[in-house]
Amino acid sequence: MTTGTVYLVGAGPGAPGLLTLRGAEVLASADVVVHDRLTGPDLLSLAKEGAELFDVGKDPDDRGDQDAINKLLVTNAQKGLQVVRLKGGDPFVFGRGGEEALALLAAGVPFEVVPGVTSAIAAPAYAGVPVTHRGLVTSFTVVAGHSRSVDADAGDGGTNWEALAAAGGTIVVLMGAAHRAKIADRLMRGGLPPTTPVLAVERGTWPEQSQVRTTLAGMAEAEMAAPVTIVIGEVAALGLVPARDLPLSGRTVVLTRAVHQAASLSGRLRQLGARVLEVPVIEIVPPADGGDALAAAAGRLGQGAYDWVVLTSANAVGKLFDLVPDTRALRSTSVAAVGPATAESLLRYRVVADLVPAQATAEGLLAELPQPGPAGGPPRALLPQAAGAREELQRGMERLGWAVDAVEAYRTVPRPVSAALLRGAASADAICFASPSAVDSYLDQAEAAGAKPRGLAVCIGPVTAAAARRRGLRAGGQASEHTADGLVSTVLALLGPG
């Protein structure tokens, strides 16, 4: 059996956007992910479906069982699996990455190091503090502030804090919250003035980032908690970025849409300051017949067999028009879209909807579709839709006198989500649903994992909202406009200031 590869990946300082492209690439293809305590569920959501997740995180000042972690990496790689060791910041900056690399070398296991952005630089930068600045300081030192660094003598693996004070330059302390009083005392004994500026950045680069400015003399009494990056030196007094008071800062929002549909909505929420967890609990798969019926209907469309094509989702648009190589095949066929999002999807195929009802529901479509006249036969409509779709639209059209060809265009099926991701999402402020199938899939899995969400349910329409209420979710709101923009506006109204 071929031995798999282990990737020692730096996850960056916290914000998922700061994971490197290479890191995201190997994470998306890994069979096994071994992660630290501070790895957020938003990063774990990038792992491929079915990847086995191992939480080997250690508390501050906890040495943990590094030998067991090394063995876990080696054993899984020797099974032929691709393994990602996901480590906060950079794997070789206080990350035990060197020890793990040595263990992999000794076992003959191939590995690759994927560098990451260390919080020692990123957290100060997000707070507007450069660790070097012309005219102030030309060097910086990154030092661990855990008990071994503070309590042991320099010859026994401890840090010579007095020498650091004498060396000059910026001092960046990681893992130092619990021992900040001792650190400040030793630096002052080494000659640093009590008035030396200090900046403490908690959860740097995360939406809930906070910071405290003090001095070396006040550092012991300043409130700070792990994870924190402490910057000591003249640059700590700088603030080179404007304070950002984003309306969703500190809020966490869960998205449950299929992977290919979540990106735009996720980006808009992050621009408003939200931490976004993508938990795709459904996926779109081909029809039960492999698409034969839809292909046949697309062929009839080109032969002028239909007066109207009625589309109730962006998924239906894509599945149908991927089978229509030339939209001139529509000829005199009119096109109806249930709402603006579906109409926007049509534009990607250079098709402009002839009808978009004011109310983006099946009932709205029924109210605005042309009424069949007494002359001639019944108007013919092609209705490509999801398997198991609500029958209200088809039945309503038939009662009005339409001849409806309802064709299965795709199926929506549950997508398994890891229990770790569901537990991480359980405390989110809001969870967004765009379909009843997403509600059911999410709740079925969350309840099995003991991670039923406590946040508000934000739904794209009345049918989805009814499904959420039926499953006992806390009612948050229903988008007045049944689109991604409508969801964003509703989340903002619920969670924003005021």
Catalytic machinery residues: 36, 58, 175
403 in any annotated domain: yes
Which among 135, 99, 116 has a CA at the least distance from the CA of 26? 116
pLDDT (tens digit, 9 = 90+) per residue, 252-291?
A: 999 998 766 666 788 889 889 888 888 889 989 999 999 9
Please give the backbone phi and psi of residue 202, each rounded to the nearest 5 degrees, phi first.
-90, 140
Pairwise CA distance, residues 40 & 47, whole Å: 12
Max CA-CA distance within the chain?
99
Cβ(486)–Cβ(340) under 8 Å? Answer: no
125 and 228 housed in the same domain? yes
391 and 479 housed in the same domain? no
Q: What is the pTM of this model?
A: 0.75
Q: How many structural domains comprise the chain?
A: 4
3-state secondary structure of 78: helix
Looking up residue 195, the CATH number of its domain turns out to be 3.30.950.10
Residue linked to tokens 């499904």: 467
91 and 205 housed in the same domain? no
Please give the backbone phi and psi of residue 255, each rounded to the nearest 5 degrees, phi first.
-110, 135
pLDDT (tens digit, 9 = 90+) per residue, 394-445?
A: 999 999 999 999 999 999 999 988 888 898 899 999 999 988 999 999 999 9
Q: 237, 271, 300 — which closes off a domain?
A: 237
Looking up residue 303, the CATH number of its domain turns out to be 3.40.50.10090
51 and 94 housed in the same domain? yes
Residue numbers of the domain that contains 388: 287-412
| pLDDT tens per residue across all 498 residues of the chain | 689 999 999 999 988 889 999 999 999 999 999 998 878 788 888 888 889 999 887 665 555 689 999 999 999 999 999 999 999 999 999 988 999 999 999 999 999 999 999 999 999 999 999 999 999 999 999 999 988 888 877 667 789 999 999 998 999 999 999 999 999 999 999 999 999 999 999 999 887 788 999 999 999 999 999 899 999 999 999 988 776 678 998 889 999 987 666 667 888 898 898 888 888 899 899 999 999 999 999 999 988 899 999 999 989 999 999 999 888 888 889 999 998 889 989 999 999 999 999 888 888 899 999 888 766 678 999 999 999 888 889 999 999 999 999 999 999 999 988 888 898 899 999 999 988 999 999 999 999 999 989 899 999 878 888 999 999 998 888 887 777 788 889 999 999 886
